Amino acid sequence: MPEVERHSFDVLVIGAGGAGLRAAIEAREHGMRTAVLCKSLFGKAHTVMAEGGIAAAMGNVNSSDSWQVHFRDTMRGGKFLNNWRMAELHAQEAPQRVWELETYGALFDRTKDGKISQRNFGGHEYPRLAHVGDRTGLELIRTLQQKIVSLQQEDFAEFGHYEERLRVFQEFTVTDLVVEEGRIAGAFGYWRESGRFVLFEAPAVILATGGIGKSFKVTSNSWEYTGDGHALALRAGAKLINMEFIQFHPTGMVWPPSVKGILVTESVRGDGGVLRNTENKRFMFDYIPEVFKDKYADNEEEADRWYTDQANNRRPPELLPRDEVARAINSEVKAGRGSPHGGVFLDVSTRLPAEEIRRRLPSMHHQFKELADVDITAQPMEVGPTCHYVMGGVEVDPDTAASSVNGLFACGEVSGGMHGSNRLGGNSLSDLLVFGRRAGEGAASYVRGLSERPSVSDEAVARASETALAPFQAEGGENPYTLHMELQQSMNDLVGIIRRESEMQEALERLEKLKERAQSLSVEGHRQFNPGWHLALDLRNMLLVSECVARAALLRTESRGGHTRDDAPAMSADWRRKLLVCSLDGTRVNVEEQAQIPIRKDLLDLFDRAELEKYLTPEELS
Amino acid sequence: MSYQGKFRVWRGDDTGGALEDFTVEVNEGEVVLDIIHRLQATQAPDLAVRWNCKAGKCGSCSAEINGKPRLLCMTRMSTFTEDEVITVTPMRTFPVIRDLVTDVSFNYTKAREIPSFTPPKDLAPGEYRMQQVDVERSQEFRKCIECFLCQNTCHVIRDHEENKEAFAGPRFLMRVAELEMHPLDTADRVDSAQESHGLGLCNITKCCSEVCPEHIHITDNALIPMKERVADRKYDPIVWLGNKLFRRS
Ligand SMILES: Cc1cc2nc3c(=O)[nH]c(=O)nc-3n(C[C@H](O)[C@H](O)[C@H](O)COP(=O)(O)OP(=O)(O)OC[C@H]3O[C@@H](n4cnc5c(N)ncnc54)[C@H](O)[C@@H]3O)c2cc1C
Ligand code: SF4
Ligand code: SF4
Ligand code: FES
């Protein structure tokens, strides 16, 4: 057995995005010796890319806002499939979590009376998103990073050692969780830099690994998003829910090819940008669904008046929920009315003065200028849907973030339930903080309640290192880059934004073959910072998670939020009562139906009966 | 539209290395990082490079392109001619780990040496009130993506390993300024900027500001004002000069 470095902690947090860092702060403040493990450098996790803001009903801009209104918006956005308890806790606690960031040193944009400013966003009834220009994620990450540093400074003052109770292991990849006698005993992985193996012994592990977008060809997500946490949880015996729901953001860049998928923020439309096809038509007017007809304008004049007079006009249809806009763009392109590079036109240049565009959308202006040679103050952008966010994830207890495996917790994008079938913009960053904190607390109280700690067997370590070294054993096997490209193409084409039974069947067949081929990947070189090897290991996770997505999507014969079927276009109230739960059976993914817990009465009472009738069965309403 | 580009990429590790020549396909609209990725996928699967967002937001992909400190993901191939040889080397100020990846732990060490935000004791969460004009100064510095290109460029440490101990570098001197200018921070940071973080070693050459991909005015808005605050307590000739050159309130 190769030599293995060993560490021992009370709580291990896998992931250093918003969720992981908030969880680590909480665990440490509960006195736990805590480690944070992350694949990239500390401070560079995916959260850094978030632009628009954090949703929290502070009521700073419109005092009519409250947690109840936020809860309602979240449930509507998720088409009532959400775990209502999570949506409730989220709406109630988000303001506290945002205010707390100020005590860590965050500097949000301000209102005139010196409070945190809040902006409008799709699906939120009132201005609700706390923000810093269009770089809110950076502020969130940096603030939490600096809070961690401040806790380390406290330890230095007390113990003469910065890492006494809180240590970050950066550029480290976890490949396996260790489960002994039905409970978590630790985690195994490698330093990306040296390839050396490390075993962490810990009675509690918090997964905060983010999403899965790298299984799709066109995505706004970075290389980190290989679904590691989803796969680690499955292999440890936990369950994933809602994996069929994937959010395709309507506006990603489509050209040049090398930046295809990079996000174009929703604020472009919020600030007046409109969508047109090659016939120069504002096509969104043709795509207003029946349920939204009373809220969205059906003519350009009214839509344009809304920007200055929101009380007396209906909203422009460009601001429909993300799933609606993404589908509309997709249809236009399919009908042959797309732009030269296969998208549609998003134009703000004819809508606002150049100076105003530069002031309100500085990073979009910069991004298009630098990467596409397009001046958005003078030309339209070309945009199309891009895989953005996974609503599905580890099934957890809402209050403690505990999974069904003892000692395993999950928070942030890797957890499932909170957003139902579709997430509202801004609700992820708040989710990270609310459930990050709860996971830290949940793990701490679990550890305190243990009478003895699990230990890790030598076999478990041997097995994990063997798996990790497998790609070096095979010779003449396939190149992991080739396999990855094929996987991305298949998921994009066959389990993408619009789905059909026959295509999903084909996707599953292809995945089966890819799984076989992945058995004999081979990589060149040695273990030191070897991206080919890293990809080979990540592929195992991507394949597993992709299979969950395809299998669940095949079973759900309705369309809802981030799951749209050509062959089952309607939303069904019966399906709302069912969750699809993935678990691992050997190497095969099993999907089972599970009944939703009925929504608590006082929460149901927050809605009009007429609205509930759109979503619930007559039986539930009686 | 595509052509065969000529590249020289530094390959090696802490024991040494050399520039290696590659000829590789370049397509319309690509950035240098795309080419490095193509090399990984076709010719050099174990070529090490650090990156993450590929959109100029995370500050991972810092390196030197034809000797200039840049982000690989924000350097478009169209800024070079088709027959130009493009040389990509790791940041010079930090020790090489492998190929284009350097050991940037110096920066994390320096970050820890700066006392954290010290909030007022009498304000509960939710009670913070600050005006936009007052937060804007520090907000400019908080745009920093920690690419460490300024740290890499500053001559105080680029050519003088021995200064690393005493000098926090532009990024972290700017962090001191950010906290000093935070409307609600209660700590005094002026003396320590000079005494513990090496502000005095900076002679306001502005090289750091020139390479900052976020276009932060590190020297003008952070370093010089800090020097002025130090000078209010103690005479410093550089500040006197700075004041003459860049007068500001
Ligand atoms: C371009 C873009 C813009 C967005 N804008 C907004 C917005 O305005 N508002 C909003 O609310 N949401 C937004 N989102 C969504 C939101 O940013 C993400 O959902 C959220 O940041 C996820 O945070 P997280 O903490 O769950 O994970 P992340 O921040 O992704 O962190 C995951 C961490 O896990 C680590 N990790 C993963 N696997 C392993 C492993 N095997 N071993 C060790 N470590 C591992 C990674 O290294 C990383 O540190 C946006 C998303 C994108 C892509
Ligand atoms: S201005 Fe100061 S910190 Fe910046 S490069 Fe020059 S000496 Fe270094
Ligand atoms: S100040 Fe600019 S150059 Fe320096 S680390 Fe920050 S973003 Fe990079
Ligand atoms: S990869 Fe993030 S800045 Fe270049």
Exposure class string for A306-329: b at 16+ Cβ within 10 A, else e: beeeeeebbbbbbbbbbbbbbbbb
Mean pLDDT of A238-242: 98
B238 CB near ligand 2 (under 6 Å): no
| Minimal C-alpha gap between B112 and chain A (Å) | 6
Residue A203 has pLDDT above 50, yes or no: yes
Whether residue A252 lies within 8 A of chain B, CB to CB, comes out as no
Q: Identify the pLDDT of residue B235.
A: 61
Is B49 an interface residue toward A (CB < 8 Å)? yes
Distance CA A154, CA A145 (A): 14
B50, B51, B74: residue with CB nearest A370 = B74
Cβ contact A370–B56 (<8 Å) = yes
Chain B residues with CB-CB distance to A258 below 8 A: 27, 29-31, 34
Phi, psi of A325 (to 5 degrees): -65, -40
CA A220 to ligand 4 centroid distance, Å: 13
Q: Which ligand is nearest to the CA of A370?
A: 4
Cα–Cα distances in Å, from A394 out to A435, A594, A617, B101?
13, 14, 27, 34
Whether B90 and B61 have beta carbons less than 8 Å apart is answered as no
Please tell me if residue A152 touches chain B, with a CB cutoff of 8 Å: yes
Per-residue pLDDT tens for A293-339? 888 999 999 999 988 888 899 989 998 888 889 999 999 998 999 99
What is the C-alpha separation between A428 and B249, in angstroms, rounded? 41
Residue A256: cis peptide before it, omega within 30 degrees of 0:
yes
Q: Which of residues 387-446 of A touch B (CB under 8 A)?
A: none
Percentage of chain A surpassing pLDDT 70? Answer: 100
pLDDT above 50 (res B249): no
Token readout for A97 is: 């979590």
Evaluate whether B63 touches A54 at the Cβ level (below 8 Å): no
- pLDDT value, residue A1: 56
Tell me the torsion sign for CA atoms B19, B20, B23, B28: negative
User: Whose alpha carbon is nearest atom 9 of ligand 1?
Assistant: A426
Average pLDDT of the residues in A26-55: 96
A373: chain B residues, CB-CB within 8 Å:
29, 76, 78
Between CA A376 and CA A365 the distance in angstroms is 6
Q: How confident is the model at residue B248 (pLDDT cuts 50, 70, 90)?
A: very low
Query: Tokens for A263?
Result: 């996000």
Q: How confident is the model at residue B9 (pLDDT cuts 50, 70, 90)?
A: very high
Separation between Cα atoms, residue B61 and residue B49, nearest integer Å: 7
* Residues of A belonging to the active site: 249, 269
A133, A109 in Cβ contact below 8 A? yes
Q: Which residues contact A243 (CB under 8 A, 6 or more apart)?
A: A230, A390, A392, A393, A416, A545, A548, A549, A552, A553, A580, A582
* Residue A189 confidence class, pLDDT cut points 50, 70, 90: very high
pLDDT for position B237: 57
pLDDT-based confidence at A506, cuts 50/70/90?
very high
Task: Out of A140-144, A359-363, B135-139, B206-210, pick the least confident.
Answer: A359-363
Q: Which of residues 35-64 of A touch B (CB under 8 A)?
A: 40-44, 46, 48-49, 58
Ligand 2 contacts CB of residue B207 (under 6 A): yes
CB contact under 8 A, A48 and B27: no
Burial (0-12, 13-18, 19+ Cβ within 10 Å), A25 = buried
The secondary structure of residue A586, as a DSSP letter, is T
- Calculate how far, in angstroms, residue B155's C-alpha sits from the geometric centre of ligand 2: 7
Distance (Å) of CA A392 to CA A210, A261, A414: 11, 21, 8
Q: Of B148, B243, B154, B153, which is closest to residue B201 (Cα–Cα)?
A: B154
Q: What is the DSSP letter of A166?
A: E
Average pLDDT of B24-32? Answer: 93
Mean pLDDT of A69-88: 96
Residue bearing the CA closest to ligand 2, atom 2: B202
Q: Which atom of ligand 1 is nearest to the CA of A229?
A: 38
- Best of B25, B52, B192 to disrupt the A interface (most A CBs within 10 Å) is B52
Chain A residues whose CB is inside 8 A of the B53 CB are 44, 46, 48-49, 222
Closest CA in chain A for residue B125: A99
Return the pLDDT at B184.
97
Distance B58 CA to ligand 4 centre (A): 5
| Torsion angle of the four alpha carbons B191, B196, B199, B201, in this order, in degrees rounded to the nearest 10 | 130
Residue B247: pLDDT over 50: no
Q: Residue A284: CA atoms inside 13 Å, Cβ hemisphere, count?
A: 28
* Gap from CA of A396 to ligand 1 centroid (Å): 18
* Cβ <8 Å between A370 and B29: no
What is the distance between the alpha carbons of residues A195 and A5, in angstroms, rounded to a whole number? 11
**Contact B146 CB / ligand 3 (< 6 Å):** yes
Dihedral angle over CA of B141, B143, B145, B150, nearest 10: -40
The answer to whether A446 and A407 have CB atoms below 8 angstroms apart is yes
- How far is the CA of A358 from the CAs of A319, A367, B129, B215, in angstroms? 21, 12, 28, 15
Token couple for A177? 């969780």
Nearest residue of A to residue B129, measured between CA atoms: A114
CA of A428 to the centre of ligand 1 (A): 9
Q: Angle, nearest 10°, between helix axes A136-159 and A427-448?
A: 30
Contact of B215 with chain A, judged by CB distance below 8 Å, is answered with no
State whether residue A366 sits within 8 Å of chain B by CB.
yes
> In sequence order, what DSSP letters do the residues of chain B get, joined into one string?
--EEEEEEEEEEETTEEEEEEEEEEE-TT-BHHHHHHHHHHHT-TT-----S-SSSSS---EEEETTEEEEGGG-BGGGS-TT-EEEEE--SSS-EEETTEE--HHHHHHHHHSPPP---TT--TT-----HHHHHHHHHHTT-----HHHHH-HHHHS-GGGTTT---HHHHHHHHHHHH-TT--S--HHHHHHTS-GGG-----HHHHH-TT---IIIIIIHHHHHHHHHHS--HHHHHHHHHS---
Residue A293 has what DSSP assignment? Answer: T
Q: Percent of chain A scored above 90 by pLDDT?
A: 82
Of A49, A162, A256, the CB nearest to B30: A256
Task: Indicate yes or no: CB of A530 within 8 angstroms of CB of B126.
Answer: no
Q: Judge whether A401 and A93 are in contact, CB under 8 Å.
A: no
Q: Does an H or E element contain A124, and which?
A: none
Residues A418-459: tens digit of each pLDDT: 999 999 999 999 999 999 999 999 999 999 999 999 999 999
Interchain contact, B54 vs A259, CB within 8 Å: yes
Handedness of CA B224, B226, B229, B230 (dihedral sign): negative
DSSP A110: B
β-pairing, B3-13 vs B16-26, is antiparallel
Q: A560 forms bridges with which residues in the sheet?
A: A563
The pLDDT of residue A277 is above 60:
yes
Ligand 1 close to Cβ of residue A432 (< 6 A): yes
What value does the mean pLDDT take over residues A391-413? 98
pLDDT confidence of residue B238: 59
Report pLDDT for A79. Answer: 94
What digits encode the pLDDT tens for the residues A1-16? 568 999 999 999 999 9
A486: tokens are: 């094929």
Residue found under tokens 């797309």: A338
Q: Which residues contact A177 (CB under 8 A, 6 or more apart)?
A: A184, A186, A187, A188, A205, A232, A233, A235, A236, A408
The beta-carbon neighbor of A107 closest among B29, B51, B138 is B138
Cβ-defined contact of B97 to A193 (cutoff 8 Å): yes
Identify each DSSP E strand in A348-494 by its residue range: 381-390, 393-394, 408-410
Nearest by CB to A48, from B31, B57, B104: name it. Answer: B57
Residues in Cβ contact with A426 at an 8 Å cutoff, skipping those fewer than 6 apart: A52, A53, A54, A55, A121, A124, A128, A129
pTM: 0.95
| Contact status, residue A15 vs residue A172, Cβ threshold 8 Å | no
Closest CA in chain A for residue B105: A41
* Structural element, H or E, at residue A312: none
Measured in Å, residue A554 CA sits from the centre of ligand 3 at 47
